[in-house]
Amino acid sequence: MSADRGTEPVLDLRGVTRRYPGDPPVDAVRDVDLRVFPGELAAIIGPSGSGKSTLLHLMGTLDRPTAGEILVTGQPVGRLSDAALSGLRAWRIGFVFQQFFLLDGETAVENVASGMLYRGWSRADRLAAADTALDRVGLTHRRSHRPTQLSGGERQRVAIARALAGGPAIVLADEPTGNLDTTTGGEILALLHALHDRDGTTIAVITHDRGIAAEMPRRVELLDGRIVRDEAAPRLEATE
């Protein structure tokens, strides 16, 4: 599904810089302008030290910029309190990390439901949404299994379901195949593409892997904290 650029961007970064103190100070992200629209599947790519992790934290409102402005679904976040930012993340942003971050003592469905605790929903509503999310990632049959009973690929599917369960405006996936073998990683990437193509889920994948980025409809390349390239994949013309 293509992005709807006639609508308001999900994420809008305007002249964003993140400076860390030191002698001299270090600008991990420098004067970044970036807009992500509903329905996009984008890769943010760069080598180690390029600023990818810092940009992820800024996009996800886990960190605040030193300069510039960030809007999430049209809402400026710069003056929001930490509590308000936590609420915004709970409703608008889903996170997927390479480490999974699942609770070993809880089942798959309970892990997914835990991602909605800050929404104030009842346990029954959270479990119902978790079941729906597990179905979307093809893991309904493992809903009662604990993480230690799941493969690496299944654990990442649970983590993706947790990110999806609340219907966020965007999912940020940080090196989602980093802890997986090549075959399983390919399956996770295929799932992300399916969620985008089938459901129109807006996803940004942060990666150092150019092979992964090459498969994404949009590629944003970082170097030394700056965006040096932002391109869409070439369209394949129909042949007669």
User: Is pLDDT above 70 for 2?
Assistant: no
72: left (phi over 0), alpha (psi -120 to 50) or beta: beta
- Dihedral, 67, 69, 70, 73 alpha carbons, nearest 10: 180
Over residues 204-240, the pLDDT tens digits come to 999 999 999 999 999 999 999 999 999 986 544 433 3
Helix, strand, or coil (residue 42): strand
Give the list of residues 6+ apart from residue 88 with CB closer than 8 angstroms, or none: 61, 72, 75, 77, 80
pLDDT score at 81: 94
User: Is pLDDT above 70 for 30?
Assistant: yes
Give the list of residues 6+ apart from residue 167 with CB closer than 8 angstroms, or none: none
Contact 132, 1 (CB under 8 A): no
pLDDT score at 236: 42
CATH: 3.40.190.10, 3.20.20.70, 3.40.50.300, 3.30.70.100. Which one for 40-61+82-231?
3.40.50.300
Q: What are the residue ranges spanned by the domains of the chain?
A: 40-61+82-231
Cα–Cα distance between 7 and 4 in angstroms, integer?
Answer: 6
Is the pTM value of this prediction over 0.85?
A: yes
Over residues 71-117, the pLDDT tens digits come to 999 999 999 999 999 999 999 999 999 899 999 999 999 999 998 98
